[in-house]
């Protein structure tokens, strides 16, 4: 349980930021509401009486320093992260506090490792990128499935989403990534990110029942292609996405997610299956639950809690699977997702 420590949420009034604020409060932390729009922060504070509002802008380091003053950690929920990750990490390093973000932008996630690994390690700071559904969960599952293996030939991450109503932030982040790639696609093969123009393969994935065999789009690369190989010796990381979700995401008219329960979660469901293969042997791990945005909050807040209580295995820039005990972390989220290892 959090011990009344202040945790800044940058991008607090976004769809995901609101789930993170609520989760922090439920777990005994004191969220500090930050972001670039003072009016939207004040409006959010009306739903969370008593919480402090600290407007700040990614382009104004002094405002970020004021936002982080006296806080124990910062969670960055403001995406596209191409614009926010580096300035907020810089501020976290200046303040000497851990940084966690929910970025699902492959290039921005890779930049975080490339630009901050040395400085964060030298400072003994924890910087945890992609600590959310995409990037974090797949990495935790892959690491848990690996168990005592130190290397594998392949990791496959299959996303069984019932559908995908994207938020404005998801669409904006997708557009920024598309632009950064010059319209190319990206996959992780031969031990590195490879940019290409090949059509994505349509294949089938046999999810555990009751989902069963479903058509999926292969090489639908998510942040897992950065997080998993950042610490696991594996030359091939592939991800797959159910066709319904890809169609929803690519249709310009798909509405944003709508609350369908008292916690504000939508009725979207997910089943993520990770398969790791090594020398003809195979190990699997699965997680299932509801609402990929909502579940990102317990993932990020569990990370904050573990960093603040010293339950970590690394310092510097580190993905979920590297810095935490993966299986223990996933079991701790039993109120939010069902986790199973299949060996």
Ligand X SMILES: NC(=O)c1ccc[n+]([C@@H]2O[C@H](COP(=O)([O-])OP(=O)(O)OC[C@H]3O[C@@H](n4cnc5c(N)ncnc54)[C@H](OP(=O)(O)O)[C@@H]3O)[C@@H](O)[C@H]2O)c1
What is the DSSP secondary-structure string of 187-248?
A: EEETTEEEEE-PPPPEEEEEPSTTT-EEEEETT---THHHHGGGTSB-SEEEEEEEHHHHHH
Chosen residue from 8, 9, 11, 224 binding ligand X by CB under 6 A: 11
> Applying CB under 6 A, does 37 fall inside the site for ligand X?
yes
Could you tell me which of 126, 140, 184 has the C-alpha nearest to residue 321?
A: 140
Minimum gap (Å) between residue 175 Cβ and ligand X:
11
**Strands 73-76 and 6-10, sheet pairing:** parallel
Q: How many residues does the chain have?
A: 343
> Applying CB under 6 A, does 92 fall inside the site for ligand X?
no
> Applying CB under 6 A, does 77 fall inside the site for ligand X?
yes
> Applying CB under 6 A, does 58 fall inside the site for ligand X?
yes
Segment lying near ligand X (by CB under 6 A), choices 6-14, 42-50, 194-202, 237-245: 6-14
Total site size for ligand X, rule CB under 6 A: 33
> Applying CB under 6 A, does 132 fall inside the site for ligand X?
yes
Chosen residue from 2, 17, 31, 321 binding ligand X by CB under 6 A: 17
> Applying CB under 6 A, does 36 fall inside the site for ligand X?
yes
Q: Is the dihedral of CA 215, 217, 219, 222 positive or negative?
A: negative
Segment lying near ligand X (by CB under 6 A), choices 81-89, 138-146, 150-158, 205-213: 81-89
Burial of residue 66 (CB within 10 Å: 0-12, 13-18, 19+) is: middle
Segment lying near ligand X (by CB under 6 A), choices 148-156, 197-205, 290-298, 331-339: 290-298
Chosen residue from 6, 8, 9, 16 binding ligand X by CB under 6 A: 16
> Applying CB under 6 A, does 290 fall inside the site for ligand X?
no
* Spatial separation of the C-alpha atoms in residues 316 and 308, rounded to whole Å: 14
């Amino acid at each position: 349980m959090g011990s009344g420590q202040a945790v800044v949420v940058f991008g607090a009034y976004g769809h995901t930021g609101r789930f993170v604020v609520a989760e922090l409060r439920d777990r005994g932390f004191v969220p500090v509401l930050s972001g670039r729009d003072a009016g939207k922060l004040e409006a959010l504070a009306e739903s969370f009486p008593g919480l402090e509002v600290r407007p700040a802008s990614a382009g104004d380091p002094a405002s970020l320093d004021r936002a982080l003053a006296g806080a124990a950690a910062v969670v960055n929920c403001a995406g596209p992260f191409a614009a926010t990750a580096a300035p907020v990490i810089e501020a976290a390093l200046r303040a000497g506090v851990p940084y966690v973000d929910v970025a699902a932008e492959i290039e921005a996630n890779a930049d975080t490792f490339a630009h901050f690994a040395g400085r964060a390690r030298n400072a003994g700071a924890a910087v945890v990128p992609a600590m959310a559904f995409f990037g974090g969960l797949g990495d935790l599952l892959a690491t848990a499935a690996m168990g005592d293996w130190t290397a594998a030939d392949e990791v496959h991450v299959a996303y069984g989403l019932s559908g995908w109503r994207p938020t404005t932030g998801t669409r904006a982040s997708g557009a920024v990534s598309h632009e950064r790639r010059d319209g190319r696609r990206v996959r992780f093969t031969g031990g590195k990110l490879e940019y290409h123009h090949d059509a994505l393969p349509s294949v089938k994935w046999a999810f555990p029942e009751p989902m069963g065999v479903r058509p999926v789009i292969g090489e639908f690369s998510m942040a897992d292609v950065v997080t998993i190989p950042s610490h696991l010796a594996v030359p091939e990381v592939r991800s797959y996405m159910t066709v319904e979700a890809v169609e929803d995401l690519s249709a310009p008219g798909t509405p944003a997610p709508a609350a369908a329960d008292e916690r504000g979660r939508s009725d979207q469901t997910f089943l993520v299956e990770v398969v790791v293969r090594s020398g003809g042997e195979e190990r699997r791990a699965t997680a299932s639950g509801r609402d990929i945005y909502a579940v990102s909050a317990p993932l990020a807040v569990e990370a904050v809690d573990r960093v603040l209580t010293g339950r970590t295995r690394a310092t510097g820039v580190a993905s979920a699977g590297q810095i935490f005990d993966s299986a223990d972390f996933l079991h701790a989220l039993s109120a939010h997702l069902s986790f199973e290892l299949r060996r």
